Structure 1
Amino acid sequence: MTFTLGLVVNPLAGLGGSVGLKGSDGAETVAKALALGAEAKAPERAMTALQELVGLDFRLITWAGSMGEDSALAAGFSPEVMGVAAQQPSTAADTEAAAVTLAEQGADLILFAGGDGTARNICAAVAERCPVLGIPAGVKIHSGVYAITPKAAGEVAAMLIRGELVTLSSGEVRDIDEEAFRAGKVRARYYGELLVPSEHRYLQHVKNGQREDESLVLDDIAADFEESMQPGVRYIMGSGSTVAAIMEHLGLDNTLLGVDLIQDGELIASDCTAKQLLELTEGVETRVVITPIGGQGHLLGRGNQQLSPELMRRVGREALYVVATKTKIKALDGRPLLIDSGDSALNGEFSGLIPVHTGYRDAILYRVA
C-alpha cells in the first residue's frame, strides 16, 4: 500500500517576525506585517522539507495554491489537490478544514508548516487521529510538535516512507499570548497533544551488549496498556507471551494460546470461541489487544482465528492495540506485519501504518501489508 503524505502550509506563518511584530496571529497583525514589507517564508520552508523526499515512492495530497500545492510543485512533485481555501488570504478555518480532509483521505502523516498558532489549528482539527509533524515556519515555536529544521522534518518523513522504525510519541501543543509577549511577558498555555514521529531511539532499558531487557520492557508495555484502559470498554486479549505479560500485570488468569475477554479490570470470559466473541461484544465498545508472531509478523490469521473477519470488520482497524518489544519488530528486518484473515477485502482495509506499543508511553509506526 502506497504511503500517503498530507501537506498543509499556513502561508502567513512567521510573517510578523522579520518586521518585529513578535507573531502573526490576527488579521490586523497580518495586514500590518504586509504593509511593513514582510514576505511569506512558510511555502519556501515547506518546499525545503519536501526536497528530502525526492526519488521516494509516495502519494502527496494537499490544498490548493499557497496552502501546499505551490510548495509541492516547486519541489518537483505533482500533488493531488483536495480543496481550496474559502478565502484569501487563508484563515485558521482553512487550515483546520484542510487537515480534517487530509486525515479523512487516509494521510499516514500530515506535514504542516507554521508556528504555534498553526499547531493549535491542527490539534483542534485532528487531535491524535493521525501522526503529524511540524515544519518550523512561525515566529514563536513553543510546541513540541516541530522538527528542529525544515530539512529535519523532511528527513523524518523520508524515514517513514521508507518503512524505517520511527518512534511515535505525544507532543504538547502550546501557544503564548502575543499581546502579553509584545509587552515583554511570556504566558504559555497548553492546548492539547498531537501524535508526532521522531527519530528512532532504538533501545530502552539498555544493559550490557545494548540488548533489550525483555522483562523490563514487558513491564513497561503492561503499565502503558493499564493506563490506557477505559471504563466500560471490553478488551479482547489475544494469544502470545506479550499479551500474557499484560494479563499477569493486571492480576488476571490468561489463556496463553487462546483469547480472553476483560472489562473494568475483571475477566469476563476465558478461551473464547469466535461465536462467543461476537455475542459478548455485541453493542459494546471493544478493543483488540494482539501481538505479532515472532519472526513471522502475522497479526491476524495465525493462532488467533477466533478473531473472525466479521468481528474485526465490526470493531474496525482503530480498535487494534498492537504490542511488541522493539527487539521482536527489529527481527522482522523491515518486513511488514501481516494480515491473513481469510477475507481479502478486510486484509486490505487493515493495511497501512499502525502504532505498535513498545514500552511505557513509547510506540513506533510500522507498516501492515
Structure 2
Amino acid sequence: MNKFHIGLVVNPLAGLGGSVALKGSDGAETAALAQQLGAEAKAPQRVAQALEQLKELSAQIKISTGAGLLGAASCELADLPCEVIYQGQTPSTAEDTKTLAQRLIDEAGVDLLVFAGGDGTARDIYAVCPEQQPVLGIPAGVKIHSGVYAVSPRAAGKVIVQMVSGELTTVTHADVMDIDEAAFRQGTVRAKRFGELLVPAELRYVQAVKMGGKESDELVLADIAAEVIENMEDDVLYIMGSGSTVAAIMEDLQLPNTLLGVDVVKNGELIAQDVTARQLEQWVITEQQPAVIVVTVIGGQGHLFGRGNQQLSAQLLAHLGKDAIRVVASKRKLQQLAGRPLLVDTGDHQVDDALSGVIRVITGYHDEVFVQIAAP
C-alpha cells in the first residue's frame, strides 16, 4: 500500500503579535515589530504537538515540507523524517507559504495539505489551492475565524491519524475568513469571507442518515445521484460502471441502464450502452475525448476494478489516471468492509500501484469520505 503523503506548510511568524498585544501578525512590519517587542515564534512547537500523534504510524506516512521553520524544524521536534522540497526566504513571507503549498500540491501530489498559522495563512493557502485538494489547518495564529482549523494542534493530529488509519473520514467545505487587523486594533471586528477549502471533519451522517439514525438505501442513493449529476460537466464522457449505486444515478438521469455492464453518457444523453473495452479505448485514448469513470464498490469484497467491470481496462485507467475516477458508495457498504481497503486488480501491477493510496468516495449529497485503495 502506498504511504499516506502529507504536505506540511508552517508560517513561522503566525501568532507573533498575540503575546505583545498587536492583535495579529499580518504583514512583515507587524511581525518585525512583534519580534522587537520580545515575541517568540510558537508555530513550530504547535505543529510538533500535532505531528507527535503520528509517531506510531511513521512507517505509513511520508511528509514533504519546506526547510527549517517552514516545516522541517517541526518534524525534527516530533522525531519524524521529512523530505524538504523548498528552501524559502529569511525571514519567511506570505509568498513562501504560497510557493511551498503550490509545489506540494502540483509537484509532490500530496494526499493532505497541512498548514499552520492563522486566518492570513488560510487566505494564502486558499489563493493557490484547487477546490478538491483536502487541507487541514493547525491553529497557530492570533486570529482564528476560519472554519478550516482543528480545535487544537493535538486535535489536528488525531484527525490525521484517523485518515492514515483508513477510518471513514468525512470531508466538507469550510469557510476561509479574515478580519481587518487595522480595524480590530481600533476595537472594530470586521470579518470577511474569502472562499472555501475542503477539510476533513469528524465522521458524521449528514445527508445520508435518515429514519432514526440508520441509512435509508433509497434516500442515500438519491443523495449520491444528486451529487454526481450536479457536478457533471458538458462535453465529457461519463463512463458509468456496473452496480445498483451507479444504476440509481442513471435512473435519476432518466436514462436506460445496463446493471451488469458499462454505459456512456454525454451532455445528459445516453450515447452508448453495454460497451466494450475496445470501444472505450477508441474514444478516450485514440480520439482523446475527455472522460470520467463513475464506479462503485462490490459489497463485502471491496473491489473497485477487476471484478465484473473488465471493460474498464488497465490501458484506459492508466490514460485517465486516478483524478478521473468518481467512486460512489453508501457509508453502510463501506463500513461492512470493517476497515479493509478497497481493492484494484486490473491485471497490470503498475496501474494497480498508481491507483493505490487515498481516494475520496461520494457517500451522499456534498458528503464524501476518505478511503484507502490497495493492490493485493
Task: Give the Cα separation in 1 of the matches to 2:174 and 2:225.
Answer: 22
Aligned partner of 2:119 in structure 1 is 116
Q: Deviations over 1:37-74 (max 9, x none)?
A: 11111111101111111221322222111111111111
Task: Give the Cα separation in 1 of the matches to 2:322 and 2:352.
Answer: 10
Q: Is 1:354 the counterpart of 2:362 in the alignment?
A: no
Aligned to 1:55, the other structure's residue is in SS state helix
Aligned partner of 1:312 in structure 2 is 317
The aligned amino acid for 1:205 is V
- 1:228 is displaced (CA, Å) by 1.1
Q: 2:99 aligns with which of 97, 100, 107?
A: 97
Aligned partner of 1:161 in structure 2 is 164
Q: Deviations over 1:167-189 (max 9, x none)?
A: 11112222222223223333333
- 1:356 is displaced (CA, Å) by 0.2
The aligned amino acid for 2:19 is S
Task: Give the Cα separation in 1 of the matches to 2:184 and 2:291.
Answer: 46
Aligned to 2:86, the other structure's residue is in SS state coil
- 1:362 is displaced (CA, Å) by 0.4
Aligned partner of 2:344 in structure 1 is 339
Task: Give the Cα separation in 2 of the matches to 1:314 and 1:51.
Answer: 39
Of residues 345-354 and 187-196 in structure 1, the stretch that sits farther from structure 2 once superposed is 187-196
Q: TM-score scaled to structure 2, two decimals?
A: 0.94
The aligned amino acid for 1:34 is Q
Q: Is 1:12 the counterpart of 2:17 in the alignment?
A: no
The aligned amino acid for 1:299 is L
Of residues 10-19 and 279-288 in structure 1, the stretch that sits farther from structure 2 once superposed is 279-288
Q: 1:151 aligns with which of 142, 154, 168?
A: 154
Task: Give the Cα separation in 1 of the matches to 2:279 and 2:187.
Answer: 64
Contact preservation (8 Å) 1:4, 1:109: yes
The aligned amino acid for 1:294 is G
Aligned partner of 1:368 in structure 2 is 373
Q: Is 1:130 the counterpart of 2:130 in the alignment?
A: no
Aligned to 1:243, the other structure's residue is in SS state helix
Q: Is 1:234 the counterpart of 2:237 in the alignment?
A: yes
Aligned partner of 1:79 in structure 2 is 82
Task: Give the Cα separation in 1 of the matches to 2:62 and 2:330.
Answer: 30
What does 1:255-266 align with in structure 2 at a 5 Å threshold? 255-266=258-269
Task: Give the Cα separation in 2 of the matches to 1:4 and 1:38.
Answer: 33
Task: Give the Cα separation in 2 of the matches to 1:184 and 1:144.
Answer: 23
Contact preservation (8 Å) 1:321, 1:356: yes
Aligned to 1:81, the other structure's residue is in SS state strand
- Quote the sequence identity (%): 56
Contact preservation (8 Å) 1:92, 1:118: yes
Aligned to 1:349, the other structure's residue is in SS state helix
Q: How many correspondences in the alignment?
A: 367
Task: Give the Cα separation in 2 of the matches to 1:222 and 1:237.
Answer: 12
Of residues 180-189 and 233-242 in structure 1, the stretch that sits farther from structure 2 once superposed is 180-189
What does 1:154-303 align with in structure 2 at a 5 Å threshold? 154-201=157-204, 204-208=208-212, 210-281=213-284, 282-303=287-308
Task: Give the Cα separation in 2 of the matches to 1:127 and 1:177.
Answer: 25
- 1:235 is displaced (CA, Å) by 0.7
Task: Give the Cα separation in 1 of the matches to 2:77 and 2:279.
Answer: 56
Task: Give the Cα separation in 1 of the matches to 2:267 and 2:102.
Answer: 33
Aligned partner of 1:41 in structure 2 is 42
- 1:129 is displaced (CA, Å) by 4.6
What does 1:53-64 align with in structure 2 at a 5 Å threshold? 53-56=54-57, 57=59, 58-64=61-67
Of residues 4-13 and 275-284 in structure 1, the stretch that sits farther from structure 2 once superposed is 275-284
Aligned to 1:54, the other structure's residue is in SS state helix
